[in-house]
Amino acid sequence: MITLCVPTLSQYSNLDKCIASAFSGNVPVDKVLIVDNGGKYSHLDSRVTVLKQPFNQGVAASWNILVRSSEEYRIIANDDVVFKSDTIQKMVEGLEQGNKFVWAIRGINGFSCFSIQDSLYNIMGPFDEEISPRYAYFEDNDYHYRMRLNGEDAFDSGAEAIHIGSATLKAMDSEQMKQHHTRFGTAQQNYIKKWGGLPGKEIFVTPFNQ
């Protein structure tokens, strides 16, 4: 069973393209699981399940909901990712080879499209929801660094996906952009407090708050 897992916040036109591409590949997904932080998405296909949220959970919390609500093999992707015909196929092949964390790295950031096995998630624990509460920064850097500290590697499947681009930032007015920068700054400081430096410059080998 292959499940596409996607968090979304009102970018529904992009999400429709993401889902369509996942169903049309050489190895199509069997079902789709959506965490809808906007609460207004619906899909007619019975293979698509939508978990509507009462408020914006943020990326880390959405990922945790998706992992806990799905079974292997799961592909977690941004709502503005479009899969090429062999993207899912190559990622599944990486999982079948025994890799516990697989990503499609060509053309996009690794955490824009990845797969994590229960065996790794149960050891590593959940994505940190406190670094960027109800928002979307540094939770990927945090997990990658934690994996490195535990000697766990991310496997590059060689798959390619297309990042068609979210319109969220472009649609923001000046006040929303100000809030965005404030939240980014807060997440940045939370990361530095936890690890002693920005991504690639961490100095702590255990979280400061543990």
Q: What is the 3-state secondary structure (H, E, C) of the chain?
A: CCEEEEEECCCHHHHHHHHHHHHCCCCCCCEEEEEECCCCCCCCCCCEEEEECCCCCCHHHHHHHHHHCCCCCEEEECCCEEECCCHHHHHHHHHHCCCCEEECCECCCHHHEEEECHHHHHHHCCCCCCCCCCCCCCHHHHHHHHHHHCCCCCEECCCEEEECCCCCCCCCCHHHHHHHHHHHHHHHHHHHHHHCCCCCCCCCCCCCCC
Residues recorded for the chain: 210
CB 26 within 8 A of CB 85: yes
CB 71 within 8 A of CB 3: yes
Instruction: Break the chain into its structural domains and give their ranges.
Output: 3-165
Percent of the chain scoring above 90 in pLDDT:
84
Pseudo-torsion of CA 24, 91, 111, 38, nearest 10°? 30
Query: Is CATH 3.40.50.720 what the domain over 3-165 is classified as, yes or no?
Result: no
Q: Match 């002693």 to its residue by tokens.
A: 196
Average pLDDT of the segment spanning 50-62: 96
Average pLDDT of the segment spanning 140-160: 96
Average pLDDT of the segment spanning 63-86: 96
* pLDDT tens by residue, 31-53: 999 999 989 999 999 999 999 99
**What is the per-residue pLDDT for 170?**
64
